[in-house]
Amino acid sequence: MKPATPAHPREVLLGAQAQTGSLPVCDHYSGVESRMRKSLQLQAEMTREFGACVFDVSLDCEDGAPVGGEAEHAALVAELALGADPQARVAVRVHPVDHPAFAQDIQTIVGRAGTRLAHVMLPKVESTADVDIASRALDEARAPQLPLHALIESPAAVHRAFDIAAHPRIQSLSFGLMDFVSAHGGAIPEHGMGAQGQFTHPLVVRAKLEIASACHAHGKVPSHSVVTEFQDRDAMRAAARRANAEFGFTRMWSIHPDQIRPILEALAPTEGEIAQAVRILEKAEQADWAPISFEGKLHDRASYRFHWQVLERAHRTTSRMPAEAQRWFAGA
C-alpha cells in the first residue's frame, strides 16, 4: 500500500549519508573597507534579484588588515557583520592560529558577531592540531556551533588533507593556490598560478585532486582556488567549469565582483541536465524508488542520487527549475 504522501527525494536518497549542509557555490573575498561594504551591498542586491542568497561574502582579516591595525580592522569586520542584511551570509577569514592577532580576531569578531556569521575561514592550516586550537577558541567565544573552513596552502597540509577533512568541526576545505606554489621555492613556475597553468602543472593538479577527494570522502565541501585574471570573465568561467567537471570542486572563490556571476553560471547544471534529472526522478518516484528503465538504461538509487544532486545544485545556483520539480524545493 502506497503512502499518502510520497517520500521526499532528499530523505529517500541521502538519508544514510553524512551531510554538512549545502553551501553557495561562490565564496567572495574582500578586505578593504570600501570593497567589503560594496560586497555586502551587491550580495543584498543579488539576493533580491534571485530571491535567495547566492554567494557568501567573506570579510578578510588576514590579507585585509593593515600591519599594526589588526584590532581596528577586526572591530570593523564585526560592525559590518552585525549590520548586514538579515538574509546575508557573512563569513570572516581570521589570522592563522600562530599569528599574534588570532585570539583578538576571535574575541572581537566571533565574540560580538558570532550569531551573524556563516562560518570562520582558518588560513595556513597545517594539521588537525590547528583546527583543534581554532575550535577551542570558538567555543570560548560562545560559538560552539559555528563551522570552520580550512585553507590548505602547503605541501604538508595537502599530505594531511584527509585528516583535516575528517575533523568534525570542518565544513569545507579550500585550496590556497598562490601560497601553495610559493611554498615550493621556485620549483613550480609562475605559470602554475595562472587560469590555465593551475590545471596542467602536475604538483598543482595532484594537490587539487587530494583536497577534493578528501572532502568527498568525509562529506565536506571542496572549494576551488582563485583566478587572478579577474578582468577575464571567459577565463573565470572556463576555470570554474574545469574545476567542477574535471576536479570535483563544488564551490569556488571570487576575488572581484565581476567573477561572481561567471562562477554561478559555470557551476550551474545545464537546462538539459535539469530536465533529464526531473524526468528520471519523477519516474523513480512513481515506482516508489525501485529500479526503472529510462531511455534504454537501467537506473536505481545510485543514479537517482546523482540526478537529485543535479537538482540540488540547480537550486543553489537559482537555475530555472521546471514547474514539476518546484514542489521538491517549496519552502527550502
pLDDT-based confidence at 199, cuts 50/70/90?
A: very high
Residues 63 and 179 in one domain: yes
3-state secondary structure of 252: strand
Partners of 55 in the β-ladder: 26
User: Of 224, 242, 267, which marks where a domain is finished?
Assistant: 267
Alpha helices in 51-85 (DSSP H): 70-83
Rounded distance between C-alpha atoms, residue 110 and residue 77, angstroms: 10
Residues 173 and 285 in one domain: no
pLDDT-based confidence at 161, cuts 50/70/90?
A: very high
C-alpha cell at 83: 549590520
69 phi, psi to nearest 5 deg? -115, 25
Identify which of 70, 42, 76, 78 has the alpha carbon closest to the alpha carbon of residue 57.
42
297-310 pLDDT, tens digit each: 999 999 999 999 88
Predicted pLDDT of residue 18:
46
Asked if residue 11 is part of any domain, the answer here is no
Residues 38 and 164 in one domain: yes
Domain span holding position 196? 26-267
Which one is predicted more confidently, 53 or 6? 53
Rounded distance between C-alpha atoms, residue 311 and residue 299, angstroms: 17
Predicted pLDDT of residue 283:
92
- Residues 54-62, mean pLDDT to the nearest whole number: 97
Residues 108 and 185 in one domain: yes
The pLDDT mean for the chain works out to 92
Asked if residue 8 is part of any domain, the answer here is no
Residues 247 and 140 in one domain: yes
- Residues 142-155, mean pLDDT to the nearest whole number: 97
Contacts of 78 (CB under 8 A, 6+ apart): 108, 109, 112, 113
C-alpha cell at 42: 551587491
Residues 199 and 307 in one domain: no
| Cα dihedral 166→168→169→173 (10° resolution) | 20
Q: Are 157 and 205 in contact (CB under 8 A)?
A: no
- Residues 207-211, mean pLDDT to the nearest whole number: 98
pLDDT at 19 over 60: no
Q: What CATH number is associated with residue 61?
A: 3.20.20.60
pLDDT-based confidence at 21, cuts 50/70/90?
A: low
pTM above 0.75, yes or no: yes
Partners of 57 in the β-ladder: 28, 90
3-state secondary structure of 98: coil
What total of structural domains would you count in the chain?
2
232-286 pLDDT, tens digit each: 888 899 999 999 999 999 999 999 999 999 999 999 999 999 999 999 999 999 9
Rounded distance between C-alpha atoms, residue 243 and residue 283, angstroms: 31
- Residues 145-151, mean pLDDT to the nearest whole number: 97
Predicted pLDDT of residue 332:
59
pLDDT at 123 over 60: yes
Alpha helices in the chain (DSSP H): 9-14, 33-50, 70-83, 102-105, 111-113, 128-140, 155-159, 161-166, 177-182, 202-217, 233-247, 260-266, 271-286, 301-316, 323-326
Predicted pLDDT of residue 330:
78
**Residue at grid coordinates 568561467:** 237
Residues 304 and 241 in one domain: no
Predicted pLDDT of residue 16:
41
User: Of 236, 267, 298, which marks where a domain is finished?
Assistant: 267
Residues 244 and 304 in one domain: no
